[in-house]
Structure formats: C-alpha cells, structure tokens
Amino acid sequence: MPDAKTPQDRQDQAATTRHTRFGTLPERIRLEDTLQSVPATHPDPSRDSYNHDEWLTRNAL
C-alpha cells in the first residue's frame, strides 16, 4: 500500500499547507495611520448667549 499515509504524515502535510498559506503575518499598521484628526468647531457665541429680555417674551406672553 504505497498510498497509505500515517497520521504524522498527514499532520506534516497540513502544517506545510498552513505555513504556505499563512506563513507570514500581515504588515503591522501604526496607530498614527489609524487615527484621523478633525479640528473641533468653535463655539458660536450668538447661539449660546443669554438674552435677559428673552425670558419675558417666552414666559410672559
């Protein structure tokens, strides 16, 4: 039986196949390459300003 393979031969062949397919790790990605810097928007003073007379308009009328 020339085609008979031992379990060790099958494991060696599987290990060789895995090493051929996955033998090298992918290139490492640096943290600087994964981040994106976006400047924050400046606060709008007219949006957040408090108008002392507005509360009368909204609550008294």
The tokens describing 61, both together, are 């009328």
pTM over 0.85: no
- Angstrom CA distances, 15 to 6, 26, 61, stand at 14, 19, 82
List, in sequence order, the alpha helices (H) in the chain.
Answer: 7-22, 31-34, 45-48, 54-60
Contacts of 41 (CB under 8 A, 6+ apart): none
- Structural domain for 24, as ranges: 7-60
Cα separation of 53 and 51, whole Å?
6
Is 2 inside a domain boundary? no
Is 15 inside a domain boundary? yes
What domain count does the chain have?
1
Residues 6-60 pLDDT 10s: 888 888 999 999 899 888 888 999 998 998 888 788 777 777 777 777 777 777 7
